[in-house]
Amino acid sequence: MTDRAFAVVRAGALTTVQDQGRPGHAHLGVPRSGALDPAAARLANRLVGNPSDAAVLETTLNGCSVRPRCAVTVAVVGAPCPVTVDGRPVAWGAPVRVPAGALLDVGAAVSGVRCYVAFGGGVSVDPVLASRSTDLLSGLGPPPLADGAVIPLGHAAAPHARVDTVPHPAPPRELILRVTSGPRADWFTASALRTLTTRAYRVSSASNRIGLRTEGPSLERAFTDELPSEGMVLGAVQVPPDGRPVVFLADHPTTGGYPVIAVVREADLAGAAQAVPGTPVRFVPAGRR
């Protein structure tokens, strides 16, 4: 085994390998997958001198610890969190040199949900359909990190960015999701549409990479017929029989049989990726483009 690798010491609640995903295969039932906060993943890569589509780690809530077998430059962005090397605090949101054999610990998120950890040279697991992303819905790509696993790294091509600070949005205290009308808005009552865009929802703890589930007032259907399966887009607000809207994120199924009442602007989905359970959610009508 080459020494361009790191060992997983603490995998954390859920740490996956992510890049910009595998769009273009929805007709085969393959979700697009990819980093839930793609801007954070791109920024992490930029800080260590990687191309923006290099694979990074995406952590969930409590970070992870890894021990690189080679000296490597890393950067942690996304949710703010303490970062240490062999127990010594180092910078978040900036390139950090980790010596071979040292322990890099990405701590629990202080706010937000997901941290992105880029390594110079990128995480170099085998690509599947041109992407290294872990897809939790369909099981494509590498499995989530497990304690003791050894994960290969690529060779760094460019020097890392020399920066002191980077602009990065803070995780939302209130999640504002701009929506346009969905293809099946007419399957709901007029009052359900009003409810969606005027009442308060909260992020449910059942949220995951497949969807942001919400708690709040139930949305009433005008038709109770069964909807034949149809294609689903990223950001679709699907309403299952319990009436609570679910916003589809990167690992969402490519077809579905519950009606889509609205669609969230793609630019607002990174906020959805960083909203902790309990965060207030408001769906607001988007202006026409």
CB atoms within 10 A of CB 190: 11
- 28 contributes a contact to other proteins by CB under 8 A: yes
Residues in the chain: 289
Judged by CB under 8 A, the stretch of 59-67, 72-80, 256-264, 272-280 that binds other proteins is 256-264
Out of 140, 249, 269, 270, which residue is the one contacting other proteins (CB under 8 A)?
Answer: 140
139 binds other proteins (CB under 8 A): yes
* Minimal distance, residue 150 CB to other proteins, in Å: 22
Minimal CA–CA distance to 65: which of 54, 57, 73? 57
Q: Rounded to the nearest whole angstrom, what is the least distance from the CB of residue 114 to other proteins in the complex?
A: 23
Q: Closest distance between other proteins and the C-beta of residue 136, in Å?
A: 13
Using a 10 angstrom Cβ sphere, with 0-12 exposed, 13-18 middle and 19 or more buried, the burial of residue 144 is middle
- Count of residues in contact with other proteins, rule CB under 8 A: 35
Judged by CB under 8 A, the stretch of 51-59, 204-212, 239-247, 261-269 that binds other proteins is 261-269
With respect to other proteins, which residue has the nearer C-beta, 186 or 215?
186
Reduce the DSSP state of residue 186 to 3 states and report it: helix
Q: Regarding beta strands 201-203 and 280-285, do their DSSP bridges make them parallel or antiparallel, or are they unpaired? A: antiparallel
Between 144 and 183, how does the x/- string for binding to other proteins read (CB under 8 A)? ------------------------------------xxxx
Q: Does 27 bind other proteins (CB under 8 A)?
A: yes
CB of 133 closer than 8 Å to CB of 33: yes
138 counts as binding other proteins under rule CB under 8 A: yes
β-pairing, 16-18 with 56-58? antiparallel
Residue 208 found at the interface with other proteins (CB under 8 A): no
- Quote the CA–CA distance of 16 and 136 in Å, as a whole number: 9
Contacts for 151 with CB less than 8 Å, ≥ 6 apart: 5, 6, 7, 8, 17, 66, 123, 125, 142, 145
Query: Site residues (CB under 8 A) for other proteins?
Result: 23-30, 128-129, 138-140, 180-184, 228-233, 235-236, 253-255, 260, 263-266, 289
